[in-house]
Amino acid sequence: MATKLPVSGSGVVINLLDPGLCKTELIPNLGPVYKSAVKLLRFFLARTSEEGSRNLLHAAMSGEESRGKYLSQCDIKEHWFAPFVTNWKGQNMQEKVWTQLQAGLETIEAGCVTKALRL
């Protein structure tokens, strides 16, 4: 989406962020085995929700330099992308996902994507 909506035309910066594993109660629909595993991982590895929210704030406050980038631990982490994300296979997959997302949104409200991209 970042490539479809340039900052110069919209003033909107679109980036991808990762708050990391946080100690929250956002797992109510997991089965008991998965819920137990997540709770165990959270005990040893998780950040507080306040620490995770720092990444959200960082992404919201980042400027044009973060457009289309992956943000984690309050930093741009371009080197963390798997090669699949940036090679031709990844580009094809991104186009497929965008096409399917756009079609789904258009069934909910016709013209919404076109209207949003004309900002």
The predicted model scores a pTM of: 0.68
Tokens found for residue 96: 């497929």
Check pLDDT > 70 for residue 57: yes
**Closest Cα to residue 63, out of 113, 98, 15, 9?**
15
Tokens found for residue 13: 């910066």
Do the beta carbons of residue 113 and residue 102 sit within 8 Å?
yes
Query: Would you list the domain boundaries of the chain?
Result: 12-80, 82-119
pLDDT tens per residue, range 62-85: 888 888 888 998 999 878 778 887
Q: Are strands 70-72 and 75-76 parallel, antiparallel or unpaired?
A: antiparallel
First to last CA, the chain: 13
